[in-house]
Structure 1
Amino acid sequence: MKKNSEREPDLIQYRLEYSLNDDLPSERFFMATDPRDALSQLAYSCIKHIPVDSLSENEQDCFVKAFSNPTKPFLEKPDLLEVPKPIPDIDFPEPEPAPPATDEKSLDESNQDDFSEDGFVDIQDTESAVATPDLQPKPDPAAEHKLKQEERLAEIVKIEKQNQELLERYEKLNNKTRRIMEWFTPRIEIMTFEEHNRWTDSWTSIEYPLEPNEEDDSPNLEDSQVEKDPIG
């Protein structure tokens, strides 16, 4: 029995005639899966014209997504780390007092008494004294509970710091992408956008901007608050 293999999407040829920053019109052909994919390729080809020193791979991807599908969020908020669950408070009884320490002098006198009148040691009493183990201090439940609380608080501080760093990177990437779009959007003019039909060997005009996808019900980029800082 043959295994079902997923068929790769057919590539379609698209033609775009556009002008960037009031320059002379340029014509580009792209092999893409759909019109948005063609716009993504156009955006990638225009990155070198954006007045920034360099863009990281993530910054390029965000810019391309923002341009090709402006009604859809180009960047998802990061999933923040969860803090440890609270440790319930417990009322512990007062610790038992420690047993009194054995006086060495008393122990020596006791050993003297172990000798019989004829000078021999009472072996039974001596073995009993030697076999008695030293009493080890019992663990303090209250101290252990307090230590767990302190470890939890230290872990919370660590996690909150990591979450703050995640949010700062998100905000930085989000704001930089929006500033790039503020510069790029009014400077790009698409005059011709066509899709090639290989069966009829003809070109079909595509209306630009593209209509939002049905699942794209997010607010438009222009409706969101954008920092007015220069690109950089």
Structure 2
Amino acid sequence: MIDLKGKVAVVFGLANKRSIAWAICQKLSEAGATLAICYQSERLQRDAETLAAELPSAKTYRCDVSSDEEIDAVFAQIAADFPVIYTVVHAVAFAPADAIKNDFLLTKRDDFRIAMDVSVYSLIAVARAAAPLMTEGGSILTLTYFGSDKVFPNYNVMGVAKAGLESSVRYLAASLGPKNIRVNAISAGPIKTLAARGIGDFSKILNAVEERSPLHRNVEAIEVGKTALFLSSDLASGITGEVTFVDCGYNITGL
């Protein structure tokens, strides 16, 4: 059994109970970790606080990761509450609706910038702010998707952003390795989250995975949470810079 008692985990990206971030919070908490849960805006505050109340010793913080000032401020708050942190989970991604639903060729410069800033650069900014508090080493995790490598309908600029995110994981792993901080990504299969609502014909992707994946089903958020728990623990002490697929094996299939 994985024991994270006495370890503090900071989780960015909690939106509601369907969030992958929530499944990760649940599994980390079950293992004994203390949670610092960050939500993006006042609109999401109530759900974040309601969910955090279900976990022992969890605290909530507001942080918009598109702002360096807010990232610095939230880690100052976290440092005041928890001088040492062990795990950081970056479950954040965003692109303007037009950049997802329109043909990729029509992607606007500003929409591309926003997608890369929020979905990719924010991992770098969060890792930089978190590292000084990770004095005992630890694990930084982010969430990606197979659309980084293969073309999926109605995913468009987000696929390019996820490719950048995965490359950033490798470079951050090299940067932070000397501090004994591991950086990894989990590539989850399609899950009905708030973010997934923005992807047109999402049900077709779900159906394709159920039909073609070796397990002939779609993955559940809690299974991603289990993988995050493993990667956060000493059981994964030799793993860094990797993308771990949790997609019922869909990524290995051809036809």
Q: Which band: TM-score by shorter chain? A: under 0.3
* Larger RCO of the pair (alpha carbons < 8 Å, separation 6+): 1
